[in-house]
A and B are shown apart, each in its own frame.
Chain A
Amino acid sequence: MAEIATPFAAPAPQTFDSDVLRGGLLSRLTVVGALLRFRATIGSDIARERNLGDYFCSLFLATLLFTAGYGAVLGMYEPGIQILYAGLKLPIVVLGTAMLCIPTFYVFNSILGSTLNFRQTVSLVFLMTAAVATILAAFAPIAWFFTVSAGTEGFLIVLHFAVFAIALLYAERLLAAIRDLLQTATGGTSVPRTFLTLWLLLVSTVGTQMAWNFRPFLSEGPFVTGTRSLCIEALRPGIDGVESKQ
């Protein structure tokens, strides 16, 4: 009798070699596994500037795919064209926020005495977006379940905010761990801890504003409303989030 292969019987790989990332689309996504399990390898690769270009492509791709997926879940509240719109808008928000905040990170980190160069800095920033995107992807089934079953708009907003908060906290922990690894590997300062927290606060503020600029995600509406306003105005009474009061 032919032996039936047991699922998950093969032992999980114990090491990660970033040369794998060159393989192709699916091999590029192995960076997510590395991000979850082999932080030490990522840390030493960044410290030695090994395969940074491949890391960048892979992290960018993972962020793009996962945020697009979560965006599509957001759009499922009003099925139709909104699934496509939200699926396109969320990657723009996440990647756009990261790119806007890279110069601030690089300049101030350098002033504060970091030894990281620009390529290493960019890798760290996209490591953050990939970590956020990974958590979003992990929570996407739960978000989808609530969206299609019992979600009112208010409840879903709170749910999505909570998921994003968890994602950011996870990214902060990941970056802090990588920072410690870099610190040990290079012997110099990589990223001052307080600065990292402050920068992530800036990222979340810019990200919230960027998401506000690309509203609506849940309810049906145009791709962009075209009105300029600050996200703090959402707290003002009388603004429904789509048409702003002049």
Chain B
Amino acid sequence: MRGISIRSWIQDRQARGSKKFPEAPLTPSRNVIKYFVMQSEVAIKDPHAALFALLRGRAAALPAPALLLLAAGCAAAFGAAVGSYTGGMQILYAAVKMPLYFLSTLGISFAALHVLAASRLPAGETLKAASEAVALTAAALGGLAPVVAFVSLSCRRPDQASYTFLILVLTASVAIGGLAGVARLHARIASPGLTVAWVVIYQFTGAQMAWLLKPWVSYTFKADRFLPLHENLHGNFYESIFGVLRSLLS
């Protein structure tokens, strides 16, 4: 479960006489992809052990890239389950978009999360704590994926009532997964205020990210759109909620 540090890896290569790594030290910023690949080695070589450690709250031994890789894998499973209602290419579309949703939301909100936590945690620890919460949420959703896929495949199609029911099931699943992630985050950083602030920031960004990456289930019942950005870039999640409220009142 030991993560290999980039320095020891480079020293090892230098010891073997590799000409690729001369004396000048490599910075993680120049080798960020290689760094991520190496750090996620644990999750690639033994995904079950890594998942086991994550679920049981022993993720401290896992480097952040390994956690993010686990999150991507579990999120892809849940995405495939979400797409299975429409079926066909939508399974693949949603399986690609779900990890994208989790990781890009984290990427975009990370600076804000770190600023708030900077007084207690260094950036590396912030990334690990946030990655662990995201990975646990994704793992919980991955655990629900078989049931969600089964419900999706049982729902009548095309049928508005079944579609609405499915959306309810998905919302409930995401809420359960989110609760698991928040509980873990709270246990990890032990500060109610910081936990609330992080959840608010992540959700604020996440709602818009989900809006941008729609359709998930595809209300047209056809797998005809992977990412209709031209459509999604008009308006945003919060404006649409405001629009719904206004139409209710007028």
Interface residues of A (CB under 8 A from B): 99-101, 103-104, 106-108, 110-111, 113, 115, 117-118, 202, 206, 209-210, 212-213, 227-230, 233, 244
Contacts and interface: CB of A to CB of B under 8 A. Distances in A.
Contacts of B143: 103-104, 106-108
Nearest to B55: A110
A229 B154 contact: yes
A100 B149 CA distance: 10
Given A108-B140, A110-B55, A111-B140, A230 B150 contact: no
A206 B157 contact: no
B156 A103 contact: no
A111 B145 CA distance: 16
18 contacts: A103-B142, A103-B143, A107-B142, A108-B143, A108-B180, A110-B52, A110-B56, A111-B139, A117-B52, A118-B48, A118-B52, A206-B147, A209-B154, A213-B154, A228-B155, A228-B156, A228-B157, A230-B156
B137 to A, nearest CB: 10
B180 A104 contact: no
Nearest to B183: A111
Closest 9 pairs (CB-CB, A-B)? A107-B143, A110-B55, A100-B146, A103-B143, A229-B156, A104-B143, A228-B156, A111-B180, A103-B146
Nearest to B157: A228
Interface string B32-59: 0000000000000000100010011100
Contacts of A104: 143-144, 146-147
Contacts of B150: 100, 206, 209-210
A111 B55 contact: yes
Nearest to A244: B156
Contacts of A101: 146-147
A124 to B, nearest CB: 15
Interface string B117-154: 00000000000000000001001101111110011011
Interface residues of B, number: 25
B162 interface: yes
B156 A107 contact: no
A236 to B, nearest CB: 10
Contacts of A117: 52
A108 B136 CA distance: 10
Given A110-B56, A230-B162, A202 B147 contact: yes
A213 B154 CA distance: 7
Nearest to B149: A100
Contacts of A244: 156
Interface of B: 48, 52, 55-57, 136, 139-140, 142-147, 150-151, 153-157, 162, 165, 180, 184
Contacts of A229: 154-156, 162
A8 B140 CA distance: 51
Given A100-B150, A111-B139, A115-B56, 20 more contacts: A103-B144, A103-B145, A103-B146, A104-B144, A107-B142, A108-B140, A108-B180, A110-B52, A111-B136, A118-B52, A202-B147, A206-B147, A206-B150, A209-B150, A209-B154, A210-B150, A227-B156, A229-B162, A230-B156, A244-B156
Contacts of A106: 143
A209 B162 CA distance: 14
A101 B147 CA distance: 7
Contacts of B52: 110, 117-118
B81 to A, nearest CB: 11
Contacts of B144: 103-104, 107
A210 to B, nearest CB: 8
Given A103-B146, A107-B143, A110-B56, A230 B136 contact: no
A213 B150 CA distance: 10
A106 B180 CA distance: 14
A115 B57 CA distance: 11
A228 B153 contact: yes
A210 B151 CA distance: 9
A107 B147 contact: no
B57 to A, nearest CB: 8
Contacts of B151: 209, 230
Given A107-B139, A107-B142, A110-B56, A230 B155 contact: yes
A212 B151 CA distance: 12
Contact of A107 (B55, B57, B157, B165): B55
Contacts of B155: 228-230
Given A107-B142, A228-B155, A100 B147 contact: yes
